Structure 1
Amino acid sequence: MSRFRNVPQGPPIEVFALNKAFLDDPYEPKVNLGAGAYRDEKGQPWVLPVVRKTERLMAQDDFLNHEYLPVLGLDTFSSAATALLLGEDSHVFSKGLAFGVQVLSGTGALRMAAEFLSKQLKYNTFYVSDPTWENHNLVFTNAGFKDARKYRYWDPKTRGIDFEGMIEDLKSAPEDSVIILHACAHNPTGCDPTQEQWKKIAEVMEERKLFPMFDSAYQGFASGDIEKDAWAVRYFVDKGFELLCAQSFAKNFGLYNERVGNLTFVANCKEVAVAVKSQVTLSVRGMYSNPPNHGARIVATILNNPGLFQEWKDCIKIMSRRIHSMRKELRDRLEKLGTPGSWEHITSQIGMFSYTGLNAKQSEHMIECFHVYMLKSGRINMCGLNPENVDYVAKAIYDTINEFPSN
Structure 2
Amino acid sequence: MIKCLQAESSPGDVIILHAAAHNPTGLDPTKDQWKGVADLCVQLQLFPLFDSAYQGFASGNLLEDGWAMKHFLGREGLEMGIAQSFSKNFGLYGERVGALHIKSNSTEIGHDIGNLLERLARSEITCPPLYGARIVAQVLNDPKLFAEWERDLVTMSVRIARMRREFYQRLVELETPGHWEHIISQIGMFSYMGLTREQVIVLREEFHIYLLDTGRVAITGLTMENVDYVAQSIDTVVRRVTNVNNSA
Task: Using structure 2 for the length normalisation, give the TM-score.
Answer: 0.94
In structure 2, the partner of 1:264 is 101
Q: Which of 351, 354, 372 is the aligned partner of 2:188?
A: 351
The CA deviation string for residues 220-271 of structure 1, in whole angstroms up to 9 with x for no partner, is 1232100011111111111132111111101000001111111111112223
Map of 1:204-219 to 2, 5 A cutoff? 204-219=40-55
2:112 is the alignment partner of 1:281: no
The CA deviation string for residues 129-183 of structure 1, in whole angstroms up to 9 with x for no partner, is xxxxxxxxxxxxxxxxxxxxxxxxxxxxxxxxxxxxx111110122222111111
* Aligned equivalents of 2:102, 2:125: Cα separation in 1: 20
* Aligned equivalents of 1:284, 1:215: Cα separation in 2: 19
2:214 is the alignment partner of 1:400: no
* Aligned equivalents of 1:245, 1:359: Cα separation in 2: 34
Specify the SS of the correspondent of 1:393. Answer: helix
* Aligned equivalents of 1:404, 1:202: Cα separation in 2: 43
In structure 1, the partner of 2:3 is 168
Asked if the contact 1:178–1:212 (Cα under 8 Å) also holds between the matched residues in 2, the reply is: yes
Map of 1:6-405 to 2, 5 A cutoff? 166-172=1-7, 173-240=9-76, 241-405=78-242
Paired residue total? 242
**1:171 partner letter:** Q
**2:26 partner letter:** G
Asked if the contact 1:340–1:401 (Cα under 8 Å) also holds between the matched residues in 2, the reply is: yes
Let me know the Cα RMSD of the aligned residues: 1.2
* Aligned equivalents of 2:27, 2:241: Cα separation in 1: 25
* Aligned equivalents of 1:383, 1:376: Cα separation in 2: 18
Specify the SS of the correspondent of 1:213. Answer: strand
* Aligned equivalents of 1:273, 1:198: Cα separation in 2: 25
The CA deviation string for residues 86-115 of structure 1, in whole angstroms up to 9 with x for no partner, is xxxxxxxxxxxxxxxxxxxxxxxxxxxxxx
The percentage of counterpart residues that share the same residue type is: 50
* Aligned equivalents of 1:208, 1:307: Cα separation in 2: 44
Which ranges of structure 1 fall in alignment gaps of 5 or more residues? 1-165
* Aligned equivalents of 1:269, 1:306: Cα separation in 2: 33
In structure 2, the partner of 1:118 is none
Specify the SS of the correspondent of 1:264. Answer: strand
* Aligned equivalents of 1:337, 1:207: Cα separation in 2: 50
* Aligned equivalents of 1:222, 1:252: Cα separation in 2: 11
Deviation at 1:362, TM superposition (A): 1.2
* Aligned equivalents of 2:14, 2:119: Cα separation in 1: 22
Task: Using structure 1 for the length normalisation, give the TM-score.
Answer: 0.58
Which ranges of structure 2 fall in alignment gaps of 5 or more residues? none
For CA contacts below 8 A with separation 6 or more, give which structure has more relative contact order: 1
Asked if the contact 1:248–1:260 (Cα under 8 Å) also holds between the matched residues in 2, the reply is: yes
* Aligned equivalents of 2:79, 2:128: Cα separation in 1: 25
* Aligned equivalents of 2:54, 2:145: Cα separation in 1: 19
The CA deviation string for residues 255-293 of structure 1, in whole angstroms up to 9 with x for no partner, is 011111111111122232122211211111111113211
The CA deviation string for residues 307-340 of structure 1, in whole angstroms up to 9 with x for no partner, is 1100111111111111111000000111111112
In structure 2, the partner of 1:161 is none
Asked if the contact 1:170–1:205 (Cα under 8 Å) also holds between the matched residues in 2, the reply is: no
* Aligned equivalents of 1:254, 1:329: Cα separation in 2: 24
**1:263 partner letter:** L
